[in-house]
Structure 1
């Protein structure tokens, strides 16, 4: 027979049903209950004693505030529970924490806390802020198989032992900024959707793993310190939400693992992000230049050569990147090189022929007289196109046609562009030996 659910409507009823004073420890133990009021554990009530909290199959409709303890908690164990409002337990010192098979409708806050023994958080659904920022974990941390539907904050934390974040789904990403992993970090089968997984300024002291994961919201390893190896096999990163340094770090990590194919993929992503960065920098620099020239700011210093040189540098780098992308897709596609060469040669040859026609030097007029004339004009044009396609052709390669200085100029420019296309095509065939 199923046990009847206890209905608790006040703080007094909660303490009467759950509180047990064992001498050194105040134990709050409750099972199969529904709490319909705010619960607040007060420091005056518990004095200098330690606290234990054991909830099993408890549904809490209101806020639970563990914030005022400021002393040690022996153990917190929450299993098969449901919390509709905030669960606040920040600024606490906890020996061990276990949260299993539970649902949190709003925030779970253990920020600025100390965990001296193992922490295990598994098979839960979190719909509000999950906040463990500024906390210290002295023993192993196990947080696998959870669904995080809101922001997750592990910023400025110290992890003294192994940390396992396997098989988690982060709808809005997670932040680990400035945290230190003194032992191994396991980040396998992680899925991040809307926002990025942020490991900016994080220190990985030992071999760590970020494998078989999908970062649709992006990934940041900006200024991270990797003292040994960060294994990153089989990951997908949406580059639009990732910074260039992160993509460069991942590329170099794949190279250390002798995975040139994946390194090339992230080289491509890095170049795309760099191109966007240059566009943004150029736009910002132009706005700043215009603002300075119009004298909007007070106490404007004379415009330095360094600022102008930076603007010119952005333009030069952007031109190089555009040329590389169009000609062989950053050195990765020989077919792009072939298309670029054929297209540029066709454009150059069309302008070259048009110039001759306008000068009255071309032996054929384009149009339909009869099939024989049309066929001859097409054969003549195609015959010399293939000669034009070869960058070392003679200047006067078309029989019976007198070239003007303008024709020579068009020919020279076309040779340069077509020769560049041929070179880029050859370079793309060497892509696996480039990085």
Structure 2
């Protein structure tokens, strides 16, 4: 009996042995993978050290609890599994460079990367997310430079899809940070700051989002050299103090009924200088804003150049309003100082030869008041009847926005800083057309002979 069972027992023993050996190999492989996981590599790196991450794909979540420098060299991808940030930083002085982060599963309120602490440097990261890009929470004195952040899913830049996304870079209670040369598209707000002070937003480009940059209850923010295109609003500034807005370009914010190049709401002591607002529904919109200086800006090819509502004690100097369908509208906005702006539709007489017209430029609130009371009257914009009625409307002229001495011509070339390339291309194209015309004329002349 035993002899008959011996072969079967031997086969069973061999199977058990092979199973045990396979399990040991699997265990060893799992142990090796665990040792080589990104989290394990980070944990084994000493504080203040640098980790060059081996090329490949890794899974989050990753948690960093000490100062460390992570170098990806553009060959490292970290993918989130949903439910939490892909990378969480809970320490000071963390550097991350050349890493690709993909977050396909998180809702808008969960970021791909969340930063706390101070002194961080994030450079040349690429983030694709269905949630938010980067959140700074009480994170100070950090540098975010040359980041590329894009929203996954619908990229139309309009409609309800905007509110199903998170913000590209989101700061709350975070001070003295720099966001430089980042490219952001397809998010809710490209760059969002709330209750944060002394931050600098420099040379970024945001497209196809709700607001390119959104400031809420901030102080001493500098927004300079940025570009916003095809957003609902280029720059939304609300409840802020001492904001500097310089050398930005916001254009083609026109697809939404509430689109503006620059929106100032309850803003005080801002300096708005040398910006270009082109092709928007409204170039500059001000409401409940006071004590701001708006100077040397170009506002061109918008439906409405300037719109002011219940705003006073603002100073508008040397701005150029060119080819806007409606140059300006104002309502309950007396007490503002307009001096030496250029309005290309004004009637000019310069008897003194000083480059300023002796005829004032007055901004009537008639059409804005009429359409606020009856929005359907917007259909009659520019009609002879509306123009005639507006010419009869002279009530409360002391409350009208009035430029007492408008410029005869712009103070400087209003398109010099943004159109040099286009002018060169246009010149070359025109020259080629001229040459082609000469050749055609010559050719037909020879045929006729």
Q: Normalised by the size of structure 2, how large is the TM-score?
A: 0.46
Structure possessing the higher radius of gyration over alpha carbons: 1
Greater share of helix residues, 1 or 2?
1
Greater share of strand residues, 1 or 2?
2
